[in-house]
Amino acid sequence: MKSLNDIQIVSAKGESCGEGGGCCGSSVETLQATGLTEAIQERYSRVAERGANNEIIDTSCCGNASDLYSEGTLQTVTTQAAGASAGCGNPVGIADVNKGEKVLDLGSGGGIDCFLAAQATGPEGHVYGVDMTHEMLKLARENAAKLDAQNVTFLLGKIEAVPLPDDSVDLVISNCVIALAPDKHRVFEEIHRVLKPGGRFVVSDVVSTTEIPDSAREDMAEWVACIGGADLQTRYLERITETGFERTTVLTDNPFSSDRTDDAWRASLRSVTVRAYKPG
């Protein structure tokens, strides 16, 4: 299999992802010159810019906040935070966040899930958002200032190496981000490490019920759209158990919105929300 750094980039429609077109406006020339990490940063930098400018994001490869959150919920955050949302679920909505808890959001983007979690924890709790894209961090911190969200801290980092100590949070959330990670087992190890004994995670993610072909896994545009890296659902759940979690539950399981269903594997893509606990 080719290295991700050597992949020729085409869009999910088989066309170049031109400036302002698919994949949220990622430049095909820029993506071809960089590796997967840089490609993801490029794409989500574009999402951050469009969110900050209240521009419409191409929903063929980015989530739409209005489809995932109620109108009343969106009114409690900034339009920029909602505009920069690129998730596939609403993990906070079903995570039962408790007052005073410490929460970690992996791939926090513009901060929408952090702000919703912070409302639930109250001032006695705290929420940490980790993201590797500088533009997203800048936007999230600006949104926090606008909302006077004093119990939210945004940190630069990767979800495979979370900049928090062991046993430090009660809950980990994530929204359509683990699918972007080549080493998902390492991500679950990090979640296990930072959770306190008895802590839990609730993550929304893209998985498939049919193996994704190598042609899609080798297509960086599919990766940055959370498709090329989508894990087989059974394997995804096995990774969680192998990492040491218990009481794993699939809380939601819905078809993943896609503009193409011509291949059986595309039709098998699912948007799931999963909860599991660290033994306590």
* CATH class of the domain defined by 4-277: alpha beta
- Check residue 87 and give its pLDDT: 80
Distance of alpha carbon 117 from alpha carbon 211, whole angstroms: 34
- Comparing 70 with 98, which gets the higher pLDDT? 98
Task: Copy the structure tokens of residue 10.
Answer: 């085409």
pLDDT of 252 strictly over 80 = yes
Task: State pTM to two decimals.
Answer: 0.83
Distance of alpha carbon 173 from alpha carbon 171, whole angstroms: 7
Task: Copy the structure tokens of residue 6.
Answer: 């050597």
pLDDT of 34 strictly over 80 = no
Q: If residue 235 lies in a helix (H) or strand (E), which one and from where to where? A: helix 233-243
Q: Is 263 helix (H, G, I), strand (E, B) or coil?
A: coil
Q: Which of 18-22, 158-162, 165-169, 273-277 has the lowest mean pLDDT?
A: 18-22
Q: If residue 264 lies in a helix (H) or strand (E), which one and from where to where? A: helix 264-267
Q: 61: closest CA among 242, 266, 226?
A: 226
- Check residue 156 and give its pLDDT: 96
- Check residue 2 and give its pLDDT: 30
Phi then psi dihedrals of residue 172, to 5 deg: -115, 130
Q: What value does the mean pLDDT of the chain take?
A: 82
Phi then psi dihedrals of residue 40, to 5 deg: -65, -45
Over residues 14-42, the mean pLDDT reads 48
pLDDT level of residue 48 (50, 70, 90 thresholds): low
**Cα distance from N-terminal residue to C-terminal residue, the chain:** 41
Q: 113: closest CA among 277, 273, 276, 280?
A: 273
- Comparing 218 with 115, which gets the higher pLDDT? 115
Q: If residue 214 lies in a helix (H) or strand (E), which one and from where to where? A: helix 214-217
Q: 82: closest CA among 106, 107, 39, 48?
A: 48
Over residues 153-160, the mean pLDDT reads 96
Phi then psi dihedrals of residue 201, to 5 deg: -125, 150
Integer-rounded Cα Rg, in Å, for the chain is 17
